[in-house]
Amino acid sequence: MSDNHSTAITRRRFLKSAIAAGGALAVPQIIPASALGRGGVVAPSERIVMGAIGVGGRGSGDVDWMMGEPDVQFVAVCDVMKSRREAVKQAVDNRYGNKDCAVYGDIRQFLAERKDVDAVLIATGDRWHSLASILAMRAGKDVYCEKPACLTMAQGQAVVATARRYSRVYQTGAQRLSELNHIFAIEMAKSGRLGKIHTAYADCRWRGGMRHDWLPAQPLPPKEEMDWDVWLGPCPWRPYNSGYMSSGWYNFYDFATDVAMWGAHTVAQALAGLDMSDVSTIEFEFAGPDSTIMARLSNGLKLVLYRVPGDVWQPCKYWHGACGERFDGSEGWAAAADGYSKPDVSSPALLEEYKKVLAEYAGRTQRPASHVRDFLDCVKSRRPTVAGPEMMLRSMSICLAADICEQLKRNLMFDLLKSEFIADPDANRLRSRAMREPWAI
């Protein structure tokens, strides 16, 4: 009896203490169905908490794309331009029916304060892609970064090293690697259905050339409206001019690349269909300013970096539309580009296996036909993404080597394994650019 009596007293005292503390045990608790993941709502424990860095045109579109995934919760946006961050904050708040989305004008403050963020979207101007990725991964964030992922080979190598050191999931925004028509063309090349591949093509359309001057100074806008110093980031100091805003910076070497600007969309697609396992060197043949560049791989394959100037939507002999790739083999060819209902092939018979080829790819890789979904799944599983840092570095190195070939106006031999040019000090010096303090890697 004494044992039962002691137990009863203990329970009474416990209940009295609980009631005194607020009656937590005296009143039944009602847990919302959303907190348990019911009613089609993802439970908080399964959500990926995200922030966005750089929310201009492409960035705002990416945020909207990602918010369409049920397990994503955006909690903060960061942009040097107040109008942009406020506009995307409103879109995020409207989506979630609250006013919780925080805004930041400086990436350093954002990364220092938001310990709750699991992953970030980076859609800044190209000059910031590599540095923002590195800073975010150092802060413990997984990264989805838009293309081109770096302005130099040295920056790309630093992204790879950082992802490895901090064990971060990284996806570069080469989204066509996750689109059905491009997957089909790539798989046709990889599976041997086109025979032995001898040539691949990537759309590296000429954009009009790069400017090496800079625009005249204009009065600076108020810092709270647009922080020019942070906008420049690691680039050389240049006076403020509104002509750089929106897409104006695309045409200036200080802030962008040439071949790599467009090639960042397409070279990864071409490489995905090739056996690169035994490629050690690549020879780049200079054919004249703004001309198509032929890259000859050490295993005998040819990679054609298509450089014909003009409207990106005008037809060409390899594909129609923009951002295309093509594979030529001994038994036929296949090509895909934006705006296709089905890929182009050398024979209608090759399209008869369209669904089978895509089903084989899905079964073998277990990847979705969505670049964002692939990234989110990998954030949860921790497996490599379809467009991870090593793939990014390889494709960007080829693009940037082609840039250097065009700058120096001569043929170059590139060691893909060492990421350096063979016996060419001038070319090797162009593998990196000075980065302005305090924004150096």
- Alpha carbons 89 and 75: distance in angstroms, whole number: 9
Cβ atoms of 99 and 74 within 8 Å: the answer is no
Q: Which residue has the higher pLDDT, 37 or 248?
A: 248
- Give the residue-averaged pLDDT of 93-104: 97
Integer-rounded Cα Rg, in Å, for the chain is 26
180-209+256-429: in CATH 3.90.1150.200 = no
Please give the pLDDT value at position 19. 37
Please give the pLDDT value at position 309. 64
Domain borders along the chain are 1-30, 37-175, 180-209+256-429
pLDDT tops 80 at residue 235: yes
pLDDT band at 320 (very low <50, low <70, confident <90, very high): confident
pLDDT, tens digit (0-9, with 9 covering 90-100), for 27-82: 344 444 444 444 556 777 789 999 999 999 899 999 999 999 999 999 999 999 99
pLDDT, tens digit (0-9, with 9 covering 90-100), for 279-298: 999 999 998 877 889 999 99
Strand partners, 420: 415
pLDDT tops 50 at residue 25: no
- Give the residue-averaged pLDDT of 334-350: 95
pLDDT, tens digit (0-9, with 9 covering 90-100), for 113-153: 999 999 999 999 999 999 999 999 999 999 999 999 999 99
Please give the pLDDT value at position 322. 87
Please give the pLDDT value at position 40. 56
Q: Which residue has the higher pLDDT, 261 or 235?
A: 235
pLDDT band at 261 (very low <50, low <70, confident <90, very high): confident
Half-sphere exposure of 159 (CA within 13 A, CB side): 32
pLDDT band at 98 (very low <50, low <70, confident <90, very high): very high
Please give the pLDDT value at position 330. 98
Looking at every residue in the chain, the average pLDDT score rounds to: 90
Tell me the longest C-alpha to C-alpha distance in the chain.
Answer: 101
Q: Is 436 helix (H, G, I), strand (E, B) or coil?
A: coil
Please give the pLDDT value at position 15. 36
**Of the ranges 277-281, 306-310, 351-355, 367-371, which one carries the lowest mean pLDDT score?**
306-310
Give CA torsion, residues 309, 315, 318, 320, to 10 deg. 120
Q: Which residues contact 425 (CB under 8 A, 6 or more apart)?
A: none
User: For domain 37-175, which CATH number applies: 3.40.50.11740, 3.40.50.720, 3.20.190.10, 3.40.50.1400?
Assistant: 3.40.50.720
Please give the pLDDT value at position 32. 43
Tokens encoding 188: 């046709």
- Alpha carbons 72 and 354: distance in angstroms, whole number: 32
Q: In the chain, what percentage of residues exceed pLDDT 70?
A: 88
Task: Identify the helix (H) or strand (E) that includes residue 423.
Answer: none
Burial class of residue 389 (count of CB atoms within 10 Å of its CB; 0-12, 13-18, 19+): buried
pLDDT, tens digit (0-9, with 9 covering 90-100), for 176-187: 999 999 999 999
Cβ atoms of 246 and 382 within 8 Å: the answer is no
Cβ atoms of 238 and 190 within 8 Å: the answer is no
